[in-house]
Amino acid sequence: MKRLVILGAPGSGKGSQCKWITKDYDVPHISTGDILRKNIADGTALGVEAKSYMDKGELVPSELVIALLKARLDEEDCKAKGFLLDGFPRTVEQAESLDEYLKENGISLDRVVNIEVPDEEIMARALNRRTCSNPACKEIYNLRDNAPQVENVCDKCGSALFVRDDDNEATVSKRLEVYHTQTEPLIKYYSEQGKLSTVVGQVLLEDTIKLVKAELEK
């Protein structure tokens, strides 16, 4: 049973960490994006409300995201197994609401794992990324560490590789800037609580896993 939060910039490899943590510790992976999609698909009252904002192209208000999250954490699997929160909290205000909720339920977070990768490294990975154009394959390559055998051809299915629209310098820097502005206060918040473990993302996934594991076993 673990109650965890994971932080990491887009492109930090946070998703790969979520995969093994969820499996090895048998904790539900809770992402706000998934919760939103599910509530909208199920037509719950909160989902209908959230959709009304999204249809207008507006951000779903924080209070509504918090309400959706609490409803999810109230479910049996989270009560029995804990959780891994991914994409929440995004602000100190949300972190405080989460703490209030945990306190009301007599529980607390075990650890907040912060996957740190230098911006230059995230940028280099994005600019070197090539994606298979075959929708059934979508294999991802990296010209620097994991190049295809034949230039611009997928090793697995032989389709052409392409650069995704959002893998460009302007989009990636904007995304990193937003991430840092949002996350820095959160890092401070959890570090003051003594819950923060910062792990530097390594080139090899296995190496990062080892480091994260060591933090979670503390």
Chosen residue from 46, 132, 176, 199 binding Zn ion by CB under 5 A: 132
153 is a site residue for Zn ion (CB under 5 A)? no
CA distances from 27 to 70, 81, 82, 85, 125 (A): 16, 6, 6, 10, 29
- Please give the residues from 159 up to 198 whose contact with Zn ion meets the rule CB under 5 A: 159
Residue from 3, 14, 72, 111 carrying the catalytic annotation: 14
Task: Assess whether 37 carries a catalytic annotation.
Answer: no
Q: Is the backbone peptide bond immediately before 61 cis, with ω within 30 degrees of 0?
A: no
Query: Distance (Å, rounded) from C-alpha 141 to C-alpha 163?
Result: 10
Task: Assess whether 129 carries a catalytic annotation.
Answer: yes
Chosen residue from 156, 180, 188, 210 binding Zn ion by CB under 5 A: 156
CB of 10 to Zn ion, least distance (A): 23
Fill in the DSSP letter of residue 127: H
CB of 47 to Zn ion, least distance (A): 35
With CB under 5 A as the rule, give the number of residues binding Zn ion.
8
144 is a site residue for Zn ion (CB under 5 A)? no
155 is a site residue for Zn ion (CB under 5 A)? no
Both tokens of residue 210? 């080892």
CB distance 136 to 152 below 8 Å: no
Task: Assess whether 175 carries a catalytic annotation.
Answer: yes
Single out the segment in contact with Zn ion by CB under 5 A; choices: 9-17, 56-64, 76-84, 157-165: 157-165
Q: What is the dihedral of CA 76, 197, 12, 75, to 10 degrees?
A: 10
What x-and-dash track marks residues 90-129 binding Zn ion by CB under 5 A?
----------------------------------------
CB distance 142 to 125 below 8 Å: yes
Decide whether 80 or 147 has the Cβ nearer to Zn ion: 147
Query: Distance (Å, rounded) from C-alpha 119 to C-alpha 173?
Result: 8
Task: Assess whether 51 carries a catalytic annotation.
Answer: no
Both tokens of residue 166? 């959002």
Residue from 79, 164, 174, 188 carrying the catalytic annotation: 164
Q: Residue 117 region, left (φ>0) first, then alpha (ψ -120 to 50), else beta?
A: beta
134 is a site residue for Zn ion (CB under 5 A)? yes
What amino acid positions are annotated as catalytic residues? 14, 90, 129, 164, 175
Write out the residues near Zn ion by the rule CB under 5 A: 132, 134, 137, 139, 154, 156-157, 159
